[in-house]
Amino acid sequence: MTSRERLIKAINGEKASRLPVTTHHLMPYFLNTCMEGMSNDAFFDHFGMDPIFWAVPTLPDASKGEFFNKDQEEPDQSGMTSSRYISSDSWQIEFQDIPGQKFKTIRYNFVTPKGTLSTVLQFNQYTSWVTEHLIKEKKDIELIGEFVTAPKCDIDAVNKIVQARGDRGIVRGHICCFDVFGQPGTWQDACCLVGIEKMIMETYDDPEWVHQLLTILKDRKKIYIDSLKGANYDILEFGGGDASSTVISPTIFDNFVAPYDTELIQAAHDAEQRIVYHTCGGMMPILENIVAMKPDAMETFTPSGMGGDIDLAQARKRIGPDMCMIGGIDQLHFFKGCTPEQTRREVRRCFEAAGQEGAFILCPSDHFFDADPELLMAFADEARQCTYE
């Protein structure tokens, strides 16, 4: 089997010729510091993993007066921040460097006819983070609701990438995030704009306001999802860690996450797209809640050593043999600081717990920034020896 065939078999809940093995995003810091600047494709070739290629090309809707933001540099089409920002005369994003900070700091102003919203991000060699949230007052969501633009999928660009990749793994995208700093899931997007602590408190203090915000973000995402018909993606990511059970309760999940994301998953299926629901964090108390939303696959099945709570064998038993599970590996403790034999034993343990009947893609539970290449080689090699024939 080719890598693409293996991965698709698992996503479809079936057995491949062997256990598919891959990784989530490859972080530039890791490739530059641990792999001498190796490319993504060279990484997968070097370690013999099944490649995943990320692409999220988008288009503005010219009929609505939308256009690509003039100040944004052409992004790298290989990651979660690869979409072009969509502007209009009523929704313009301006960039302003803030000097004299310990880290690179940029203020982003979202300019509308009725006021300006502002957020501040900082950056280091690893990642970026918010130091000033966009939504500061409850009335701010009125500006978003009235003026926000919505990207559409560039179907031709996606399909050209898929054609060029051939059987070299799968092409993966994600449901659109809020511009500058967001997440694919509706609740997660809101948390990026408001802050997770405030969002949780508002579910008790002002649930009507929370639902208003979630509806605005859901409607924006649905415009993108409806535009996906005809795009030959293999799978699209949805969700995010702010909806994990180590962050929110199952009750909040049921009331403020599931209603919005279930609707969008159905819309994605109507557009003939597969969805993987991404929950980096606790999952055990909400496994069935996620299954009930009917995604095509679930990730990341984060072990306790990475801050999650997963018991792979119990998770497999509870969600059934046909749901594709992606993840399972503790990259903190088995990609660094152990022996190759220990890494191999962990691979075999994950396979025996969750992959005996297929529908399992072995993968680290989300990103990693540092890893020992010898352990990565042991990880991939042992997975290739986990066969079904």
Question: Which residue, chain included where needed, has tokens 């999802």?
Answer: 225
Residue-by-residue DSSP string for 42-77: HHHHHHTPPPEEE---EE--GGGT-EE-SSSPPPPT
pLDDT of residue 286: 98
- Parse the chain into domains and list their residue ranges: 3-58+77-83+150-384
Helices (H) and strands (E) in the chain, counts: 15, 15
- For 250-258, what is the mean pLDDT? 98
Q: What is the pLDDT of residues 256-267, one digit of tens each?
A: 999 999 999 999
Q: Which fold has domain 3-58+77-83+150-384?
A: TIM Barrel (3.20.20)
Question: Which residue, chain included where needed, has tokens 């203090």?
Answer: 205
List, in sequence order, every beta strand (DSSP E) within 248-348. Answer: 275-278, 297-300, 324-329
- For 110-139, what is the mean pLDDT? 96
How many Å apart are CA 327 and CA 301, to the nearest integer?
A: 6
- For 290-319, what is the mean pLDDT? 96
Q: What are phi and psi of 222, to 5 degrees?
A: -65, -35
**Residue pair 245/285 in contact by the 8 Å Cβ criterion:** yes
How many Å apart are CA 91 and CA 96, to the nearest integer?
A: 16
Q: What predicted TM-score, i.e. pTM, was given to this entire model?
A: 0.95
- Beta carbons within 8 Å of 288's beta carbon, 6+ residues apart: 318, 319
pLDDT of residue 159: 97
The residue among 258, 253, 245 whose CA lies nearest residue 302 is: 245
Mean pLDDT taken over the chain = 95
- For 294-311, what is the mean pLDDT? 96
**Residue 76 pLDDT > 50:** no
pLDDT of residue 94: 93
Q: Which tokens hold the place of 202?
A: 């508002």
Q: Quickly state the pLDDT bin for 74 (edges 50, 70, 90).
A: low
Question: Which residue, chain included where needed, has tokens 């530059």?
Answer: 32
Q: What is the pLDDT of residues 150-187, one digit of tens each?
A: 999 999 999 999 999 999 999 999 999 999 999 999 99
Q: What is the pLDDT of residues 314-335, one digit of tens each?
A: 999 999 999 999 999 999 999 9
